[in-house]
Amino acid sequence: MTGTAVETTNKALDELFRAPDGETARRTVLCDGAMGTMLYDRGVFINRSYDELNISQPELVRAVHAEYLQAGAEIIETNTFGANAFRLERYGLRDSVRKLNLAGMRLARECVTQMREKQASEAYVAGALGPLGVRLVPHGPVSREDARETFREQVRALAEGGPGVGADLFVIETMMSMAETEEAMAAVKEEAPGLKLIVMLTVDDKGNSLDGTSAEEATRLMQLWGADAIGCNCSDGPQTVLDVIQRMRAVTKLPLAAMPNAGIPREVDGRHMYMTTPEYMAGFARKAVKAGATFLGGCCGTTPAHIRAMRHALRALGAMQEGVHAEAAVVIESTVKPPALKERSKVGAMIAAGDWITMVEIVPPKGIDCTKEIEGARMLYKLGVDVINVPDSPRASARMAAQSLCVQIQQQVGIETIIHYTCRDRNVLSIQSDLIGASSIGLKNVLCLTGDPPKMGNYPDATAVFDVDAIGLTKIVRGLNHGLDIGNNPIGGSTGFAIAVAANPGVADLDFEVRRFEAKVEAGAEFCITQPVFDLQVLEDFLRRIEGFRIPVIAGIWPLTSLKNAEFMKNDLKVRVPDQIMTRMGKASGPDAARAEGLAIAREMLAEARLLGHMMVRGVQVSAPFGKYKAAADVLGLEG
């Protein structure tokens, strides 16, 4: 690597570790997962030196690195966790420290270089140092001086050649005592001055280092000794690591690193298996970012599948800033101006005029025959409904494409539609193609949604994409409205969409919902459709919380059909259903009485929503459970 390239690498790494400037937070950086787990799964017994595989079976190590890079890791660690003299001596390899560390660095560097050439994306190699596997005085026979020199021997080999040839940065991980941590850090500072250093402890179930040092005191010491980022790895799994990260954040402003085990291993058919799923790790990633973590990855038991799931979660949060990330959809400069909202569609005109809008949701069929849906739309149009909403495979179920049903309704009935569009099933290339195509065939209203995960539907093993979430999708649509794709390349004109987003006023974590809603508005949202509302106080509270960035809101109304339906809304869809509503549905005697009570509740919600017009409720979307379109018309007070 040339001197200029090395300087560029150093500047890029400095950016990853920089302090927030008050306006821009640190971006989240995804690291790799376990090496040992992957090698074990490939048939390497645990009585082998995994570090020695750098020489005897380099293709195995190289393949693991490549899989993590393909999964989205931006930092990969060398396969040198145990490549120190004390650990290698157990395998008769004490004299192979330099050779094994150089080989480990070469394999990681080759993979990063190949990825950069193929994908034109950047990744970095971290020299990995683990504990020595011996006790230091006064608890053991090894002096602190010998410990430091042992670490120095390993660091010298990993850093040889400088960044771009040797390590770009160092990771000291799974440290169990502060004395050993200090010596490892000093070795890096002496042998590789100027390189960034991430230091992570492993902790007990109380969140303390295994020598009894509290997370807070350990944080103070590692900061004093010159760490560039600190954190926790390994341990008993995601929740323990998350707890420690939160404790560390309370006492430091340094970047934090969180790389847990995939839970506690269990023995299954003679093999140690880690039971934490990729989906659970994705949830951990979201929580860790909220807790302030900058560097995220995995330790024992994690695989490329876990890292890929975390990558999707981070993209959905907008925490990563990659070439295809949603940020690229922000309009920077364009000569194309979209038409005024009132000129884009009937919905846009009604919103611009402040008119009250009535919408009914029609779910696409599970097969090819949409006669029932077309006739339902025709009836509603004749009764005076303004627009039809068409969901995009709701609850991750396989149905007719929303775009197809929208076009057929508009062509055969003449009523305008709003297409729901999710990020679950498409990458950013497909998203742009679909939206450009939708505009070209006359669809002018789009509701931007993240989408339900496949595990909720009838094909739970289907692969989710989630290149972006609803916020990123909104930015993409806004860009297309300005005649630009996500790379700011012209598409020849404006797609002219009226842009809607969703909100759930009754969600448990309202602070998070409000922050996301504000981000959606900043991304370009022009009106909002809420989840079903059964408590107008909840809606009022939400409207007050979005006062400074409120856009026109369409309230969702759902006529309940049974107590079971109410329980589904409350427990599965996480919609706030007050106890009195549950009681009313529970008291209904029989299916007909339950449907009548559900209609009565829905009418009450609609009447109260109308009274909130001064608070920017501009209309209602009424769902038609189980295709009962007449019930939706009854809620709206429309008679045929």
Q: Is the pLDDT reported for residue 584 higher than 90?
A: yes
Nearest one of 348, 246, 247 to 290, comparing CA atoms: 246
Strands 124-129 and 169-175, sheet pairing: parallel
Q: Which CATH class is domain 329-558+612-635?
A: alpha beta
503 DSSP β-pair partners: 530
CB 570 within 8 A of CB 577: yes
pLDDT digits (tens, 9 = 90+) for 535-568: 888 999 999 899 888 899 999 999 999 999 999 8
Strands 256-260 and 229-234, sheet pairing: parallel
Q: Is the pLDDT reported for residue 265 higher than 70?
A: no
CA 407 to chain centre: 32
Both tokens of 496, joined, read: 């002219």
User: What is the enclosing helix (H) or strand (E) of 257?
Assistant: strand 256-260
Residue 461: predicted pLDDT = 73
The mean-pLDDT minimum among 15-29, 37-51, 375-389, 583-597 falls in: 15-29
Residue 39: predicted pLDDT = 92
Averaged pLDDT, 358-364: 96
Nearest one of 555, 506, 524, 594 to 361, comparing CA atoms: 555
Q: What's the start-to-end Cα distance of the chain, in Å? A: 76
pLDDT digits (tens, 9 = 90+) for 464-517: 777 778 888 999 999 999 999 887 889 999 999 999 999 999 888 888 889 889
| Tokens 């040092």 -> residue | 213
Domain boundaries, the chain: 26-322, 329-558+612-635
Both tokens of 54, joined, read: 């750098």
CB 452 within 8 A of CB 470: no
The single-letter code of the amino acid at 532 is P
Q: Is 540 exposed, middle or buried (0-12, 13-18, 19+ CB in 10 A)?
A: middle
**466: phi > 0 → left, psi -120 to 50 → alpha, else beta; which?**
left
Query: How many percent of the chain have pLDDT more than 90?
Result: 65
Nearest one of 376, 427, 373 to 399, comparing CA atoms: 373
Q: Is the pLDDT reported for residue 412 higher than 50?
A: yes
> Backbone phi, then psi, for 518, in 5-degree steps?
-60, -40
Strands 445-449 and 387-390, sheet pairing: unpaired
pLDDT digits (tens, 9 = 90+) for 135-145: 999 999 999 99
CB 116 within 8 A of CB 95: no
Averaged pLDDT, 441-446: 97
Residues flagged as binding site for Zn(2+): 234, 299-300
CB 470 within 8 A of CB 318: no
Nearest one of 524, 25, 13, 21 to 320, comparing CA atoms: 25
Residue 327: predicted pLDDT = 36
Alpha helices in 121-275 (DSSP H): 144-159, 178-191, 215-224, 238-249
Q: Is 14 exposed, middle or buried (0-12, 13-18, 19+ CB in 10 A)?
A: exposed
Averaged pLDDT, 206-233: 95
Q: Is the pLDDT reported for residue 6 higher than 80?
A: no
Residue 529: predicted pLDDT = 96
572: pLDDT confidence band, cut at 50, 70 and 90?
A: confident
One fold for 26-322 and 329-558+612-635: yes
The mean-pLDDT minimum among 152-166, 190-204, 504-518 falls in: 504-518
Residues flagged as binding site: 234, 299-300
User: Is pTM, for the whole model, over 0.85?
Assistant: no
Residue 149: predicted pLDDT = 98
Architecture category of domain 26-322 in CATH? Alpha-Beta Barrel (3.20)
Nearest one of 633, 629, 635 to 600, comparing CA atoms: 635
- Encode burial over 543-580: b for 16+ CB neighbours within 10 A, e otherwise: bebbeeebbbbbbbbbbbbbbebbeebbeeeebbbeee
pLDDT digits (tens, 9 = 90+) for 22-73: 444 578 999 999 999 899 888 888 889 999 999 999 999 999 999 999 999 9
CB 505 within 8 A of CB 541: yes
266: pLDDT confidence band, cut at 50, 70 and 90?
A: very low
d(CA 629, CA 626): 9
